[in-house]
Structure 1
Amino acid sequence: MKKLVLAAALAAAASSANAGSLAEPVVEAPVIVEESQSASSGWVLPVLLLVLVGAAVASN
């Protein structure tokens, strides 16, 4: 009788330890942040304006 109770207790403990299901886990895709290229070319517009102003002053 003791062996039967012990076997039932072990079977109950083993079955309750198995949690979850066979479904695939949901994995979220990583977030990728891309740096903008406008920060490195921020000097182009002021230089272009300076050249245009210099050309306007030189033509007078």
Structure 2
Amino acid sequence: MKKLALAAAFAAAASTVSAGTMEEPVMEAPVVVEETAASSSAAGVVIPLVVLAIIAAAVAMD
């Protein structure tokens, strides 16, 4: 009787372990984050040139 109960327990455990389908797993697409610049890279050059022009104009006025 104990062997029958043990066999039934193993059969029940084996059926739940193998319960599944052969479907392809659902894979989510990777998230791509593209950083956008707030301003162009030329702004890093333009601002010092404008400051230099203002200083040159101030020196020329003296």
With normalisation by structure 1, the TM-score equals 0.50
The structure with the greater share of residues assigned to helix is 2
